[in-house]
Structure 1
């Protein structure tokens, strides 16, 4: 019985993997049609895309560097989706993780303290939405959207005000040398990349190999059945927000602590804006599974890292490249979005 159950799960995971591969191919095919319509050679364009992202050590490093923060914000969305909620508050926690790293590394000058404070502030910022959901019934989409904007403007005030760099008006004060994440080899890639992969594996272990994680997933599938089985759905929801806030806060901290040569938040928060929202797409492409998210984040990183050479080598305008990338991302995300909607409908009917 147990063997047949595990075989069914493996078959289901394999089916999801094949669906994602087909979606990727369809996305590239539709993108090729668009390129042909505008008079560009799709084979040449995609050649430069892959060459720019994977054709050199610096390209691979850029792919991994781009994938790191969105891998962690994707985990925020995936954890909530597995618990039956639609938490899009990774953006706000990411901001607070980034500014926490700037502030506290300049107080103590310690790398680990900066990472810890980023995780702490990220988790704390996730709590209001959790409590509003559990105790007042406020829908998490509404509360997290509002909290994201509050976080944006508050952190922006810190960036342009108390923590602005007096010697460079284009960014905040820098992360001190003693608190910067070590780089890997002769590249601009820091140890943030392997840390993010380890965190994704830990989240997978937590959700699929612990009683605590089983309770969270059970609550997401059917709260009534979970409650009957001894799981407290309110507690599961609160913990999903906390853990999600931790991963996004860590992503924000590592973004500024491991991004040479800036090691700061840019004015207007240009280098940290939107990475929480990008994580939603990454999670959907990875079918809201931590291990799938590792691969999907690298896929997104590849699309981003290959853009400069794709633009220069194939001479395709940046606007068309963005259209092609958008088509590919939407196509690849559709199966994950379908799964999420299907589970939501089934949970309400149950």
Structure 2
């Protein structure tokens, strides 16, 4: 067991070192001081209590969307539909908290709507043989423009044209640190990861999901229904990313709403793919990889302010590090698909 843990940890650590070094070379050749840039990044991410709060709050939604990808990956499915379910989770939370003014109702609504939006791709995969990459990427765009219509129309805030109506005060998630963006959503995300781990490794359903993903033919021979496993993987994933959307609007001050361009919830589903790959598609590993990604996001502002690195270059360096760290997990996933 220990050997199984040490190997991926060493590979991930080596990948981080390689990514940081390549990023440093790019910064140096672009005329920036890599030592100053990385020092600013670390300072912004973990150099103060506020920096830590930003790291943790940035990690929260991508931990949940990473769980969506991880659960499906363990089932042998390449589900990239978390982006769309995030939108519907956020929309559902906005609507139902304004009806019932209760945070539990908002969270449940986000999970249910996320699950419902994940269902069409599951049914298309199981009953029509439509590849999940095609169906989920198309459904993402349908979700985007449907949510955008609601944000710009029925849910628009008449008092503030820059966002939707807000989540009522009584339905907002409490802050863990006053004056920050860190809320109870972090605890919910960590709890969701632990629950996902328990389901995958300590329940019959989890065994069926993993067995189906490891070898579908062998699983079917052993009495497991792969179609049932696929549907459950989509539903569980939809719950996780729907929860990500709900917690983002219910726990992220100062807006507690969706911006008119949906910029505050856009991209979490795609970021989750990288987080899952870095965490080797393991719920516990995802918690730590989510913190790593959160630190990169939180430190980006300080790289611009203190090291004078423009945002575009910051994104380039972040991308290099992320790609380098994700390679081992992506390679593991490719080997599983080829073996299958």
Same fold (TM over 0.5): yes
Partners in 2 of 1:38 and 1:85 — Cα distance?
40
- 2:82 pairs with 1:90: yes
- 2:16 pairs with 1:14: no
Matches within 5 A, 1:158-237: 158-186=150-178, 187-237=180-230
Partners in 2 of 1:289 and 1:212 — Cα distance?
16
Once the 2 structures are TM-superposed, how far is the Cα of residue 185 of structure 1 from its aligned partner? 2.9
Partners in 2 of 1:327 and 1:216 — Cα distance?
32
Give TM-score scaled by structure 2 length. 0.98
1:269 to 253, 262, 270: 262
Partners in 2 of 1:185 and 1:123 — Cα distance?
31
- 2:91 pairs with 1:99: yes
* Number of residue-to-residue matches in the alignment: 339
Partners in 1 of 2:36 and 2:149 — Cα distance?
45
Partners in 1 of 2:335 and 2:290 — Cα distance?
24
Most deviating of 91-100 and 180-189: 180-189
2:29 to 32, 37, 49: 37
Check conservation: 2:88, 2:117, Cα contact below 8 A: yes
Give per-residue Cα distances to partners, 1:118-160, cap 9 Å, x unaligned.
0000000000000000011000011101111111111110000
Matches within 5 A, 1:24-103: 24-103=16-95
Partners in 1 of 2:162 and 2:107 — Cα distance?
24
1:121 corresponds to which residue?
113
Matches within 5 A, 1:198-347: 198-347=191-340
Partners in 2 of 1:182 and 1:248 — Cα distance?
20
Partners in 2 of 1:278 and 1:168 — Cα distance?
29
Partners in 2 of 1:259 and 1:289 — Cα distance?
26
1:3 corresponds to which residue?
none
Structure 1: tracts of 5 or more residues without a match? 1-6
Give per-residue Cα distances to partners, 1:207-245, cap 9 Å, x unaligned.
011221011000001111111112110000000000000
Give TM-score scaled by structure 1 length. 0.96
Structure 2: tracts of 5 or more residues without a match? none
Partners in 2 of 1:177 and 1:99 — Cα distance?
17
Once the 2 structures are TM-superposed, how far is the Cα of residue 36 of structure 1 from its aligned partner? 1.2
Partners in 1 of 2:147 and 2:186 — Cα distance?
25
Partners in 2 of 1:26 and 1:121 — Cα distance?
40
Once the 2 structures are TM-superposed, how far is the Cα of residue 12 of structure 1 from its aligned partner? 2.2
Once the 2 structures are TM-superposed, how far is the Cα of residue 15 of structure 1 from its aligned partner? 0.3
Give per-residue Cα distances to partners, 1:179-214, cap 9 Å, x unaligned.
000001323210000110111011011101122101
